[in-house]
Amino acid sequence: MLSRITFPQTTGMVLAGGRVGELSVLTLERPKAALPFAGHFRIVDFALSNMARAGITNVGILSQYRPSSLIDHIGVGESWDFVGLERGAKILPPYHAAEATDWYRGNADAVLQNLSYLEGRDTQIALIVSGDHIYAMDYRRLILEHLERGAELTMAFKRIPEPDRRYGYGVLDASGRVVEYAEKPASPPGDLVSLTIYVFQMEPLAEVLLALREHDSIEFGRDVIPAMLARGRVYGHIHDGYWAYTRTVDSYYDAHRDLLDGKIDIDAWQVRTNNVDNGLVRQVPPIFRAWTEASDCLISEGCIVEGAVRGSVLGPGVRIGRGAVVEASILFGDAVVEPGARVRAAIVDKRALIGAQAAVGIDAPAEGGARGAVVSAKGIALVGKAARLQPGSRLPRGGIVAPGEER
């Protein structure tokens, strides 16, 4: 059994540093990895929970863009059992003082700058994963395959039939060896998409990173993987479970629909979170009135629902006033929808207020297109953190309200 296998000293690193422009106002004040998901979770919880289930007890989190929400959420890692002798979770910000978001000169440079963190833990295997994907994976199986093959690098892939230039693509031979890799190609060489999940032997990883240190920027897909391929011992592992990229408003929205459809099973995946940070420990069960209507939805603790909620996800402490209707929407913690308001196909950030009789996502965009049309092909409306829509106001499909804005 995998639980009885003793693996070499393995240290985890979670790439959780960047703002994703495609997510518009949702990531203006937080990195994508800190974005709420499924009510009271955050996206980074999936990577951290995978690490915890695999018995990886030392994890570095590489963060740089507005990291305060991640720092508050992860803390010392107690929620994932990273506290104790020879255990720990550590936020690793850039060493360089700068004001831009490129303090780390790429995701691989983030690891290069923190080689001392890996070396200080006598790391033999470095498990490096993205912190902003939705999935469950048994990393122990990945590491076991890596060891059995004598690989220097093992990459996780998933078959994605529809070509997408945002991904890196690999080609495997019959033995599972990666024989070709292309980062964001115009014409993908196949359907195997890299999941940004890497198992490295420590020595070759350090050698390759140090050889690239004079480059202006260092990326895994563009620089490190080709250098590892030249060494010849790179293998692939094909993940056949659920995986969501959630890099765009539409893919983030779709992942919540997958959640409601049962394709994402938070309980079976044993996803952990920090219930102190999200305030859940202070919340009571949701309150419903005799006239409340709720169907096909996830409603978190602390919610007060006096209207109708259909096909939606409500974070902790959300309030839905009497006569209000929320349909096919995602509301983050402590959002308020006042009586008589209507919200459809929208994402409403924390502490935002939708005034009485307001309408969000109901009206067609004005002629010439709404500001959000480029952000969401589905026409998902976005209401930023702590924004306020005045009573009776109207935000059309695909419309955007910035954090703190009043209109």
Mean pLDDT by 10 residues, the chain (407 residues): 74 87 92 95 98 96 85 92 89 61 79 94 97 97 97 98 91 98 94 98 98 94 97 97 95 98 97 79 88 97 97 98 99 98 98 98 72 76 98 97 96
Q: Is residue 34 part of a domain?
A: yes
Q: Based on the fold, state whether residues 108 and 58 are members of the same structural domain.
A: yes
Q: Based on the fold, state whether residues 252 and 292 are members of the same structural domain.
A: no
Q: Is residue 271 part of a domain?
A: no
Q: Based on the fold, state whether residues 125 and 187 are members of the same structural domain.
A: yes
CATH number, domain of 299, equals 2.160.10.10
Question: Rounded distance, CA 340 to CA 323, Å?
Answer: 5
Q: Based on the fold, state whether residues 253 and 351 are members of the same structural domain.
A: no
Q: Based on the fold, state whether residues 312 and 252 are members of the same structural domain.
A: no
Strand partners, 199: 127, 154
Other CB atoms within 10 Å distance of the CB of residue 149: 16
**Would you list the DSSP string of 123-153?**
-SEEEEEESS-EE---HHHHHHHHHHHT-SE
Q: Is 273 helix (H, G, I), strand (E, B) or coil?
A: coil
Strand partners, 41: 37
Question: Which residue range is the domain that position 76 belongs to?
Answer: 2-260
The residue ranges of DSSP E strands in 72-191, in sequence order, are 88-92, 125-130, 134-135, 153-159, 168-172, 178-183
pLDDT value, residue 96: 47
Q: Which helix (H) or strand (E) holds 110?
A: helix 107-112
Q: Is residue 276 part of a domain?
A: no
Task: Categorise residue 184: left if φ over 0, alpha if ψ from -120 to 50, beta otherwise.
Answer: left
Task: Categorise residue 58: left if φ over 0, alpha if ψ from -120 to 50, beta otherwise.
Answer: beta
Is residue 338 within 8 A of residue 321, CB to CB? The reply is yes
Query: Which residue is it, tokens 């109708």?
Result: 308
Q: What is the DSSP letter of 229?
A: H
pLDDT value, residue 20: 78
| Number of structural domains in the chain | 2
Global pTM reads 0.93
Q: Based on the fold, state whether residues 336 and 200 are members of the same structural domain.
A: no
Question: Rounded distance, CA 247 to CA 315, Å?
Answer: 20
Q: Based on the fold, state whether residues 287 and 213 are members of the same structural domain.
A: no
Q: Is residue 256 part of a domain?
A: yes
Q: Is residue 343 part of a domain?
A: yes
Q: What is the DSSP letter of 177?
A: B
Q: Based on the fold, state whether residues 80 and 152 are members of the same structural domain.
A: yes
Closest CA to 298 of 307, 289, 281, 286: 286
Strand partners, 293: 308
Question: Rounded distance, CA 47 to CA 130, Å?
Answer: 7
Is residue 68 within 8 A of residue 34, CB to CB? The reply is no
Q: Is residue 407 part of a domain?
A: no
Where is the domain boundary, 226, 260, 294?
260
Radius of gyration of the CA atoms of the chain, in A: 22
Q: Based on the fold, state whether residues 122 and 210 are members of the same structural domain.
A: yes
Is residue 156 within 8 A of residue 194, CB to CB? The reply is yes
Q: Based on the fold, state whether residues 132 and 228 are members of the same structural domain.
A: yes
Where is the domain boundary, 207, 226, 260?
260
pLDDT value, residue 97: 41
Q: Based on the fold, state whether residues 223 and 99 are members of the same structural domain.
A: yes
Question: Rounded distance, CA 30 to CA 221, Å?
Answer: 24
pLDDT value, residue 94: 76
Q: Is residue 358 part of a domain?
A: yes
**Are β-strands 125-130 and 88-92 bridged in parallel, bridged antiparallel, or unpaired?**
unpaired
Is residue 74 within 8 A of residue 44, CB to CB? The reply is yes
CATH number, domain of 26, equals 3.90.550.10
Q: Which helix (H) or strand (E) holds 236?
A: strand 234-238
Question: Rounded distance, CA 165 to CA 183, Å?
Answer: 8
pLDDT value, residue 1: 53
Question: Rounded distance, CA 93 to CA 113, Å?
Answer: 10
Q: Based on the fold, state whether residues 68 and 33 are members of the same structural domain.
A: yes
Q: Is residue 272 part of a domain?
A: no
Instruction: Give the distance, in angstroms, between the CA of residue 336 and the centroid of all CA atoms in the same chain.
Output: 25
Q: Give the total residue count for the chain.
A: 407
Question: Rounded distance, CA 99 to CA 105, Å?
Answer: 13
Question: Rounded distance, CA 398 to CA 321, Å?
Answer: 24
